[in-house]
Amino acid sequence: MSGTLVLVRHGQSEWNLKNLFTGWRDPGLTEQGHAEAKSAGAKLKARGMRFDIAFTSVLSRAQVTCQHILDAVGQGDLDTVRNLALNERDYGELSGLNKDDARAKWGEEQVHVWRRSYDVPPPGGESLRDTGARVWPYYMHDVQPHVLRGETVLVAAHGNSLRALIMALDGLSSEEVIKLELGTGVPVIYKLNADSTVASKEVLSH
């Protein structure tokens, strides 16, 4: 019995647009971000997708994206679980800073290391490995059992929390995962085998 897991990064946020490090700060979606989330929902509806349960983070940009998708498929009142395990990577002292200002303060090379290394956290924040250390157990314990029962599950979350999850699903190395780019509002559909391995993966690009 094959279950379906749909991962969606939230639509463009106000701070994505302004090129700011966001992390656990809570800006809303831009007009484009709302449109991206609704478009994701429309694509999933066109596939005849119906969800049994949805998971999202405690940050509004992911929650609103989740709601737009559920509204689009006609399931606006579906049971939705919110948990900070799915939150974006915490950027610590970088949160709220313009990426160019951060480069001016710490140097381009250091900021690049914080953004693109696997296990070097910014001051007071999390590395991608740290993010995975909270995402993976939550997925295994709370999300995956639904998929393995043959259910269709939506996870609306963030670039780095989903990157950490895809690393595990796709068996990516630490070098491969830091090159992985996830578009805002782009659904990634996994079919899982009964042993939790990936049977198929499809990206519904813009």
Catalytic residues: 10, 88
Q: What angle do CA 88, 15, 58 make, to 5 degrees?
A: 35
CA distance 12 to 16: 6
Give the residues across from 156 on adjacent strands: 8, 56
* DSSP 8-state secondary structure symbol assigned to residue 98: B
CB-facing half-sphere around the CA of 149: CA atoms within 13 A: 11
Neighbour order of strands in the sheet with 152-157: 80-82, 53-56, 152-157, 3-9, 187-192, 198-203
Torsion-angle region of 172 (φ positive above 0: left; ψ -120 to 50: alpha; else: beta): beta
Backbone phi, then psi, for 105, in 5-degree steps? -80, -45
- The alpha carbon dihedral of 183, 109, 86, 171 has a sign of positive
CA distance 50 to 152: 7
